[in-house]
């Protein structure tokens, strides 16, 4: 089984970290290919970043289809381009926010999302609505940390995130913590030990969901919204996306 793990931003140190964490939970025989697009933002922290990350992400899906990948994971908590990617891909495409929220709903009665910047909290709430997870989501909390601070050993990011997770459990009365950024993937065990609560990393959850769907022989339905997009010309820098 071949799974293409796509970090939609262009910071390869983060991509490599995600690949390590993904391989740690993957089943024997599952090949994880972690990639970043050739174009796009270095971090995704706004609707603007989200939109500009999608063309590079879709390029990676197109390449993966040509190379015979069985499934894809979109490793950004905003799940950018998820539905467009499903139109392109034959196999399953899983977003990490989608995977994390569903996994959290199975192991507790309520979860808190702990994310980076406050400006992205609205996006997380919107995703909870889209995925039918609003009744489980007790709160979305921001640490007010830029995404790239997670890559800076000199930052105090780990302490700040753990402190916010402790507050989430106490103030939100949550049973489960959801990490609201793919760049936090390597903190999962540390946070769980520090707080005594289950911590869901969307990267790991999405890999296991992708494996499950492939093992069941399930592909993305092409009968409705996720049908292959109609072939047509695209102009300018988007010409390669046309039919």
pLDDT tens-digit map of 47-61 = 999 999 999 999 999
Which of 87, 83, 89, 88 has the alpha carbon at shortest distance from 3? 89
Burial class (CB in 10 A: 0-12, 13-18, 19+), 175: middle
pLDDT tens-digit map of 172-196 = 999 999 999 999 999 999 999 999 9
Give me the CATH number covering residue 66. Answer: 3.40.50.12500
Say yes or no: 116 and 52 in one domain: no
d(CA 88, CA 43): 24
- Total structural domains in the chain? 2
What pLDDT shows up at residue 148? 87
Buried b (16+ CB within 10 A) or exposed e, 110-142: bbbbbbbbeebbebbbebbebbebeebbbbbbb
What pLDDT shows up at residue 155? 84
Residue 50: Cβ within 10 Å count: 19
Is 124 strand, coil or helix? helix
Positions of E strands within 48-117: 71-74, 93-95, 111-115
Say yes or no: 140 and 225 in one domain: no
- To the nearest whole percent, how much of the chain has pLDDT over 90? 91
Pairing of strands 199-200, 176-179: parallel
Print the domain residue range for 25: 2-96+204-241
d(CA 93, CA 86): 6
Say yes or no: 194 and 211 in one domain: no
Mean per-residue pLDDT, 15-37: 97
pLDDT tens-digit map of 222-243 = 999 999 999 999 999 888 888 6
């Amino acid at each position: 089984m071949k799974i293409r793990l796509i970090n939609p931003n262009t910071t390869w140190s983060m991509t490599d970290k995600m690949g390590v964490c993904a391989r740690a939970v993957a089943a024997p025989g599952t090949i994880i290919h972690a990639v970043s697009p050739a174009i796009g933002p270095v971090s995704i922290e706004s609707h603007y970043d989200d939109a500009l990350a999608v063309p590079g992400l879709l390029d990676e899906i197109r390449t993966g289809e040509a190379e015979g990948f069985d499934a894809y994971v979109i490793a950004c908590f905003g799940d950018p381009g998820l539905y467009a990617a499903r139109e392109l891909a034959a196999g399953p495409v899983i977003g990490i926010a989608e995977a994390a929220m569903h996994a959290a709903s199975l192991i507790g009665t309520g979860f808190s999302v702990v994310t980076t910047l406050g400006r992205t909290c609205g996006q997380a709430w919107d995703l909870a609505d889209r995925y039918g997870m609003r009744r489980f989501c007790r709160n979305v909390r921001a640490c007010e940390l830029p995404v790239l601070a997670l890559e800076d050993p000199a930052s105090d990011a780990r302490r700040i995130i753990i402190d916010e997770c402790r507050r989430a459990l106490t103030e939100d009365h949550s049973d489960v913590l959801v990490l609201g950024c793919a760049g936090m993937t390597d903190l999962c065990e540390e946070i769980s030990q520090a707080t005594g609560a289950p911590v869901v990393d969307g990267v790991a959850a999405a890999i296991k969901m992708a494996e499950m769907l492939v093992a069941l022989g399930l592909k993305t339905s092409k009968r409705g919204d996720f049908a292959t997009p109609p072939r047509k010309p695209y102009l300018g820098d988007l010409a390669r996306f046309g039919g």
